[in-house]
Structure 1
């Protein structure tokens, strides 16, 4: 019984605790079996968590491979980096160019006459500092009328120049340098009320290069030594001028970054597959197998992943398998990567190599292009999916009711209030002058509207003198609304004129699709085209010319990177992924098992107390019997003694 102090076998000589322990041990067999089962489930949960972790890493590496940025990296090299260097962005294209740097850009620099000290006063009045087209007036008074004071005031004026005081060995001078190079950024100091002389220390100068090496070489000037608009996506960094020296700038595909990401994918694949393989191993010596041995879900995962590595991909080229670019599975299922073979494949067909990893698609119409296919989209057969466009996307446009010729804009007819693309209304004020033609007026309206619009942009055109304001956005979100303004009647518009665009409409593989602007996307739940996205640049006239609708064929294939990403997402997604549901089921079983084991422990504790109580009562009863026996024996001994005495 609880709290009872037990003295084993005081009456009976029986070791009560040991006896009870033996009995409880026999009755604990079901609990021991359940604890072993719980430990097995916990080991399985731990193994599945490890599988999930390794597959998540594999998915991360797969995502890195199929990113567009992975495949657009170019490296720019210069044959003489002492003259110029080059860097390439993702917009650059492979190519080789010849450049001669004839002159570097330099900043304009002027200085004042000499003074005996940097604290000498220069007078008072106004100092106008001009850098290019920007001017700032600085009041010069007793607080700043020294060389040092002027330097501080110029630096605080934020005019685009930096001032300092220099010592030439005998005198102090104020030195002012333009913050930017080029002839457009010359510096001048104009003093009013006092005298300040200046001289040029360094002329403003533009950079100059000759692009090309033949008689038709093009001379290009730039205010900066960084030239970005000569070769698309390439920045030229001019280091030194060297007239007569030709420098070769080359843009080539940088495969090193791609190779690193593919190797990381290979390593993650081998790590995951090695761990999964260990779960199916059986050791005949110990007669034990892997923790997840025989699990059909894991076996399916292993088989599916291996098949994705080996399956061909329709890339649109001759390179259609990972093996053809250097990724090979050996007899033990270990994936290896031959970078030399990869580089050969990239040189042969870079587009096909990229398409091995990324989803690629095309249509048979120049104005309908493939954009994307989601994880639920099904690759079409070789015959492709039929795409039918029944409506082209259009932009909102408002056209004036009357023509405009030469027109003078003044304060009585210079305002126009409108709203664009769902944004708030705004008012523009046209420049007051005489416009020679409707085309001139259209250009003014377009510039002012685009500068002031809180949302959207427009193009303003004229035909026969009639103005048309057109939103640059396509679809139902495209809106132009004329609200008010004193220029309406002169421009041919009326308050309330408005128009809305329309979205593209059509079907993909006979399945419903939703248009937003020029984008057509297969609807959620479609059996084959869920998430398939197209860009449709057809016009309404194109549909009229085709008899009311345009039909084309869509082909697309998912690359290995996309397939891995989509499949592994379905496995590793928390709670609802295949592995997540496995983990949840195991966690629930473990929790139920723990509760059942706790119930068994409580019952055993109660059983132990009951047995101890029974043994306690037995000891107590035996002790009482022993006491009574001793009493009787003593009584009999006394009677026997008395009987002998009386005799």
Structure 2
């Protein structure tokens, strides 16, 4: 629309007139906006109410269950010793802690084992060592070109994956040009680090981690057993991941047994041993035992009847029967600290560059002589010095002279160190004599003194040891949580002279604080409601929710729960007021702390029962599991017409030993199937273990069953109660099991209020019964673990905490809650007002356009009339002028 200047032609300020007219027509909008502002204020007030209701609900929710009251605390005093209690132990107390006073002495802390290698002259040069080593069941393949740094990396790589080795490798610089590899267990405990050679090469010995002594690793009564393996029929090389799997003959009770780790499994080795007639004559046999833990089954080959095991190719060591020692290292060290250019010599130093050896001459030699570990003479042998001879070449010549029974190295001071690889007392000695052509040159390695060179076991793995109430207890870690129920002891230091008196008591202060927090949140809500119901003063606006019937209903509902009693309690403490929580005439609660503390200490269970939800029965087989918000409290009668059972079959007539090989095939309706093979001669224990091991190894593809020893007979039973079935087919053997399908049953029962003739239905699943929907017991779930049929009493009690939790849920639920409904209604009303305002605005816009058009039209017409008037006036003036001239 074109712009017009108001009143240009008419002289009327019609623009202002329109504005005034429209302002009058906007009066309804102002009224609507005022209404919306009031609704918004009410919505904000309801949000504040909801916030306070939720805060109260949070405290109430924790008071509706027993866990809220299972608070415990610890205190300790110390007698003897020189340290504070906190220096020795910290105590964490859980909800299931048992009250009591305990005497505690921390005798030893658990430590992690740490092993150290011999010294090497370089971190990056090739070690010249090859072979497999096994660390905590994980293999490391060492190649001749690997350096000390390479080996460290390979070992640390084992700490990844689903089965980490739990050992950390590090390199320690002992001195200039002297480096050692250390292995540290990630976990503490006496079990420490398990190391073994996995191939014929004695890589551990060459690294200096073990000596030449051999002993049983896993001894059992009258025999020995292997490491635990995840399979009994897979070859050992694959199970361990070996690259240099050993093969050869081992000696068992003096008999030669051929074993090839690249192809033999535990089962094939067992069969080889058991087929040896000479061993049979000695009563020596082999068997496979299994163990399941945390869903994983491990298998061990067990030799019974002898502990005489010998092996020169590390086969029995790789299997886990034998281990090498880690005793301290004896040896000799040269007294001369040779240098080159003023710095200590290393393995890479040329002999001709050693300070003092001023002139090398062809034909210079060093005589190597000494005595070995057992006292036999070594040498003399001559080492010829060439222009290219290094200290490392001399060390290799020394090792060769002692037939590899020693390791020779340089320490950081430039002295030669000769380590004995054998354990026990030693006669080891060394003499190096240089024969130099130049009379001005000297080459002296000094005299060699015997001493303990180093410890292979730097730190022994040790279990923690405590004395609790005069009983000595050991654990592998310094965090002990399975000695005192619900209490974790964190051991920090040891002092066998310090006796700690540890008191575990109920945390009455903590419980009182929880109750006080609930009271505070309740009072906060009631105070806010009271302010909303306080009339406004002169000239003031009334509170947003003044006289609101809905808010009044909320207040009444909550106060009624607070003031009401709890029915069904076997106690006189049925009201909050009886334990010191009372209400004044304004609905504000107060706590008589002295009274509440007294009842907490003398009638603790009665106080708890006043708050919590619970179900009880005189029948110990009938237990309460959970309930719903719709479950009604009261006394009930529960009738059990069928007890839950597990699918089961028991054999008959087993003689105690299986007469022939047998196969048990077990399947279920879900397509899961397992075939367990059992062998002739097995006892019931061996049969049960084998079947359970097969089931465990199959994991999720196995039927949910287990094998049991039922008084000497084999029993196959479903893992859970209820309507689950399995099918059994047996081939061979004298187990006395009938082929067929075996099915368990769900519990069947119903419930009614005490004194009522109307039964309510319940659905059984396994041993649980759940109240069906639409009834007073909707959401109630109980468990019946008995076998007897009949009617049993049951009381379902809702304490103050549970009642309040239900009431507050109905008020605060974000979807169906009462407050949410109020806020939604207010939002809808505000939305409706917005729509009305929008409609009025549109009408006013149309009215403005119409008035503008009318006034503009009037302005245009007046302008036209004025123009016509001016023309007529001019014409008349012209005519008048002409007339006057013509006169």
> TM-score if structure 2 supplies the norm length?
0.62
Confirm or deny: 8 A CA contact 2:6 2:15 kept in the other structure. no
In structure 2, the partner of 1:481 is 727
What's the counterpart of residue 620 of structure 2? 366
- Indicate if the aligned counterparts of 2:674 and 2:694 stay in contact, CA closer than 8 A: no
SS of the residue corresponding to residue 482 of structure 2 reads: coil
- 1:231 Cα shift? 2.1
Paired residue for 1:416? 664
Task: From 204, 227, 238, give the equivalent of 2:491.
Answer: 238
Task: Provide the residue aligned with 1:546 in structure 2.
Answer: none
Residues 369 and 536 of structure 1 are in contact (CA less than 8 Å); yes or no, is this contact kept in structure 2? yes
1:429 corresponding residue in structure 2: 676
In the alignment, structure 1 residue 518 sits paired with structure 2 residue 767: yes
1:406 alignment counterpart: 656
State the alpha-carbon separation in 2 of the partners of residues 635 and 137 from structure 1.
Answer: 124
Q: Secondary structure at 2:801's aligned position in 1?
A: helix
Per-residue CA distance 1:355-407 (angstroms, 9 max, x = gap): 33321231222221223231112222xxx22222222222221234x422233
- Distance, in Å, in 2 between the alignment partners of 1:617 and 1:137 is 102
Residue from 474, 491, 500 that aligns with 2:735? 491
After TM superposition, give the deviation of residue 258 of structure 1 in Å. 4.6
**What residue in structure 2 maps to residue 100 of structure 1?**
105
Tell me the number of residue pairs that the alignment of Structure 1 and Structure 2 aligns.
616
Change (3 A) 1:188 1:393: closer
Q: Secondary structure at the match of 1:250?
A: strand
**2:719 counterpart (452, 469, 472):** 472
- Residue 569 of structure 1: which of 809, 821, 833 is its match? 809
Superimposed CA distance per residue, residues 476-514 of structure 1 (whole angstroms, 9 cap, x where no aligned partner): 2x33332x4545x64333444322322332224232222
1:211 aligns with 2:477: no
2:266 match = none
Q: CA deviation at 1:68?
A: 4.8
Determine which structure has more spread, i.e. the larger CA radius of gyration. Answer: 2
- Among 29, 32, 38, the alignment partner of 1:34 is 32
Does residue 139 of structure 1 match 2:142? yes
Query: 603-612 or 194-203: which moved more?
Result: 194-203
**Cα 1:236–1:427, aligned 2, differ >3 Å: closer, same or farther?**
same
Contact persistence 1:575–1:584 (CA under 8 A): no
Gap change, CA 1:34 and 1:174, over 3 Å in 2 = closer
Counterpart secondary structure, 1:235:
strand
Distance 1:625 1:187 in 2: 118
Q: Tell me by how many angstroms 1:304 deviates.
A: 1.3
The aligned residue for residue 191 of structure 2 is 184
Once the two structures are superposed, what CA deviation does each residue of 1:130-187 show, in whole Å capped at 9, x if it has no partner? 65xx47464352324x5x5555554445544444444556965444444444443365
The partner residue of 1:291 within 523, 529, 544 is: 544
Classify 1:607/1:154 alpha carbon distance in 2 versus 1 (closer, same or farther; 3 Å): closer
Change (3 A) 1:23 1:309: same
Is 1:506 the counterpart of 2:750 in the alignment? yes
1:181-211 CA-partner distances (Å, limit 9, x unpaired): 4443365566627654452444444333333
Contact 1:178 1:187 in 2 (8 A): no
Structure 2 counterparts to residues 162-177 of structure 1, below 5 A: 162-166=168-172, 172-177=179-184
- Assess if the C-alpha contact under 8 Å between 1:207 and 1:222 holds in 2: yes
Q: Is the 8 A contact 1:70 1:257 kept in 2?
A: no
CA displacement at 1:283 relative to structure 2: 1.3
Give secondary structure in 1 for the equivalent of 2:834: helix
Do the aligned residues in 2 keep the contact of 1:518 with 1:535 (CA within 8 Å)? Answer: yes
User: After superposition, where does 1:64-103 map in structure 2 within 5 Å?
Assistant: 64-66=62-64, 68-79=66-77, 80-103=85-108
SS of alignment partner, residue 288 of structure 1 = coil
- SS of structure 2 residue aligned to 1:347: helix
Q: 2:289 matched to which residue of 1?
A: none
Contact 2:463 2:477 in 1 (8 A): yes
Please report the RMSD computed on the Cα atoms of aligned residues, expressed in angstroms: 3.7
How far residue 115 of structure 1 moved from its aligned partner, in angstroms, is 5.4
* Pair 255,479 (structure 1): closer, same or farther in 2 beyond 3 Å: farther
Change (3 A) 1:643 1:96: same
1:64 Cα deviation after fit: 3.7
> Which segments of 5 or more consecutive residues in structure 2 lack a partner in the other structure?
78-84, 160-164, 212-325, 329-456, 754-758
Task: Tell me by how many angstroms 1:285 deviates.
Answer: 0.2
Contact 1:409–1:430 (Cα < 8 Å) also in 2: no
C-alpha distance in 2 between matches for 1:393 and 1:288? 67
In structure 1, stretches of 5+ residues that fail to align are: 544-548
